[in-house]
Amino acid sequence: MLAPSWAAPPNQIALSNWIEICNKLVLVKQQQHHRLSQVAFKDAAAVAIGQENDSRFLAMSP
């Protein structure tokens, strides 16, 4: 059975806090990267759609 956190020595508490903080930072970084890649994909899609629309417009114009 694990001892409650208040029974752990101070350096053990500090270590577990650091591990928790690091894990949260990693999660935040992954979410930011995911969001950035989504934005980049949407931008690329918008550019591709825009170019496609431009070429259709040019093909239709006399």
Q: Tokens 């690091």 identify what position?
A: 22
Which tens digit of pLDDT belongs to each residue from 6-58?
666 667 777 888 888 888 888 888 887 777 777 777 787 777 777 666 666 66
In angstroms, rounded to a whole number, what is the distance separating the alpha carbons of residues 24 and 4? 22
> Read out DSSP for 13-62?
HHHHHHHHHHHHHHHHHHHHHHHHHHHHHHHHHHHHHHHHHHHHHHHH--
Instruction: Please state the pTM of the whole predicted model.
Output: 0.40
